[in-house]
Amino acid sequence: MAITKRRTAELAKQVFEYAPAPESTDHIKIEPHYDLFIGGRMVAAHSKKRFPTINPATEEKLSEVVEADEIDVDKAVKAAGKAFDSWSRLAPSRRARYLFRISRLLQERARELAVVETMDGGKPIKESRDVDIPLSAAHFFYYAGWADKLEWAFPNRKPRPLGVAGQVIPWNFPLLMLAWKIAPALAAGNTVVLKPAETTPLSAMLFADICQQAELPPGVVNIVTGAGKTGSMVISHPGVKKVAFTGSTEVGKLIQRSLAGSGKRLTLELGGKAANIVFEDAPLDAAIEGIVNGIYFNQGHVCCAGSRLLVQESIAEPLLEKLKLRLGTLRLGDPLDKNTDIGAINSKAQLEKIEGMVESGVEEGAELFQPECKLPERGFWFPPTLFTNVSQSYRIAREEIFGPVLSVLTFRTPAEAVEKANNTPYGLSAGVWTDKGSRILWMAERMRAGVVWANTFNRFDPSSPFGGYKESGFGREGGLHGLLPYVELN
Ligand code: NAP
Ligand code: MG
């Protein structure tokens, strides 16, 4: 039976009827504008240019931040360089104490951070509250534990910090990406200059406040806001010894080219086009939840999103029928509502990119499915979408969409699944759904992907390394591996 839009809407209505449950915003304070966090204080910028950051769910302006210029970036790198002398020589147990304090403050201020993260970026509050903020705190807690155990982390070697790290992060997990960057750098004795993304600078500004609250020595963390140009000033500054970048493959390649021969250490965490592979013996209902979590979590703005579903041909029909019904039950709307599953698209530019990619899918001949779904009038929105009848050559099967759009392909044999899953320039993650442990191991061995999830998807833990193969980048974040890019070993 073909599943119609009306039928999914009817079913959704029968199953769940929710009253609005918005999270309150009266406990947070967003300043009308922010300066730069340099040398332990918020300081007036040299640059007179400012730009607004908006709430993508309402298009309302939340605040204004500085577009830092060369002089501002220089000041930040010099502050970090000055702080490095004492921070790198501080007793490691004291460095740990600061990191534990930051972790505790992130927990104490979790509600405020979650609301700000949701307002600035559009992600559902249940995700910022249950995933982004707790994981950020856990990351600082984890690396605090390593700070005074570096000689155990690298036995028989002498780990030494590198100096000032220049770090540039994207907009999909603003605070979490900040934590992934700053926590290991500081634990190993480095100091940092970080540039948050243009559309989501506010949680980094709150983090600046947390650094002050934790009485972190001045200059150990510096935060400069701005656009791509400011990012490129940070990474190219001669005072920066180590560059850590998370963002698109396109910009990652540019950075690698520009740093060639500079002697700077570099790690790149870039894009992805992960395969989520479902075998005929998989627990179907669990797989449906994994597929939904894999691609619709954070509106699909996830580098490791399971954006290509590979389903074994023998179960394709029942699986798609269940999946379409499930899509009809996803609630799209106010990201601050605690029952919202799908929030706002992060920016107008990203929405246009998603729309363009979806159009290309239709033009190339794929079959589009979207459940009946009312989009709010203001803000940037895109309904949960899936494509069937997708050929591997279509753009929607090859390129990263970074939106709530799933491309479904089928396979017959495990070997064909491996072939299709690896048929991509990316290699960040993969998912395998099957009842057989031996098949999980067989598949994991053959996936050219940094992370392979088995009978689950999008699971994170600070102790577990994350990173890519091929055009998804190099270097690992998280775990013991995540310390390595921040130390020199003698
Ligand atoms: P992006 O355009 O590459 O931007 C990332 C960051 O770099 C932003 O702060 C951006 O500033 C800045 N930037 C832009 N041009 C630059 C340049 N020439 N030099 C230095 N910095 C520059 O990526 P995005 O659209 O923000 O993020 C989405 C991408 O990130 C996706 O491809 C996703 O897969 C990837 N991602 C990867 C991981 C991972 O761990 N592998 C995690 C999350 C996201 P503006 O904000 O002003 O543009
Ligand atoms: Mg914003």
Query: Could you report the per-residue pLDDT of 189-198, keeping only the tens digit for each?
Result: 999 999 999 9
Percent of the chain at pLDDT exceeding 70: 97
Question: Which ligand 1 atom is the nearest neighbour of the CA of 170?
Answer: 26
Expressed in angstroms and rounded, the spacing between residue 170 Cα and the centre of ligand 1 is: 4
CA of 93 to the centre of ligand 1 (A): 34
Give the Å distance between the CA of 306 and the centre of ligand 1.
Answer: 19
Residue 2 has pLDDT above 60, yes or no: no
Q: Which residues surround ligand 2, an ion (CB under 5 A)?
A: 53, 120, 199
Q: Alpha-carbon distance 82 to 38, whole Å?
A: 12
Q: Which residues contact 223 (CB under 8 A, 6 or more apart)?
A: 36, 37, 76, 193, 194, 195, 196, 204, 205, 207, 208
Number of CB atoms found within 10 A of residue 211's CB = 22
Query: For 462, left (φ over 0), alpha (ψ -120 to 50), or beta?
Result: alpha
Q: Ligand 2 center to residue 299 CA distance, Å? A: 15
Nearest CA to ligand 1 atom 4: 247
Question: Quick one: angle between helices 437-446 and 414-421, nearest 10?
Answer: 40
Asked if 303 is an active-site residue, the reply is yes
Q: Are 244 and 169 in contact (CB under 8 A)?
A: no
Name the average pLDDT for the chain: 96
Q: What is the pLDDT confidence band of residue 18, given thresholds at 50, 70 and 90?
A: confident
Distance of CA 286 to the CA centre of its chain: 24
For residue 69, what are its two tokens?
């210029």
* Residue ID of nearest Cα to ligand 1 atom 47: 227
3-class DSSP state of 345 = coil
Mean pLDDT over residues 387-416, rounded? Answer: 98
**Mutational pocket test of ligand 1: of 123, 194, 229, 248, the residue with most ligand atoms within 8 Å of the beta carbon:** 248
User: 42 forms bridges with which residues in the sheet?
Assistant: 37
Specify whether 269 is catalytic: yes
Q: Over range 463-473, report the average pLDDT.
A: 97
Q: Is the predicted pLDDT of residue 1 greater than 50, yes or no?
A: no
Q: What is the mean pLDDT of residues 149-157?
A: 95
How many CB atoms are closer than 10 A to CB 227? Answer: 14
Quick check: CB of 69 below 6 Å from ligand 1? Answer: no
pLDDT at 15 over 90: no
Confidence of residue 17 (pLDDT cuts 50, 70, 90): confident
Among the bound ligands, name the one nearest to the CA of residue 257: 1
Q: Are 406 and 423 in contact (CB under 8 A)?
A: no
Q: pLDDT at position 209, please? A: 98
What pTM was estimated for this model as a whole? 0.96
The length of the chain in residues reads 490
Torsion angle (degrees, nearest 10) of CA 67, 69, 73, 75: -110
Query: Does the pLDDT of residue 116 top 60, yes or no?
Result: yes
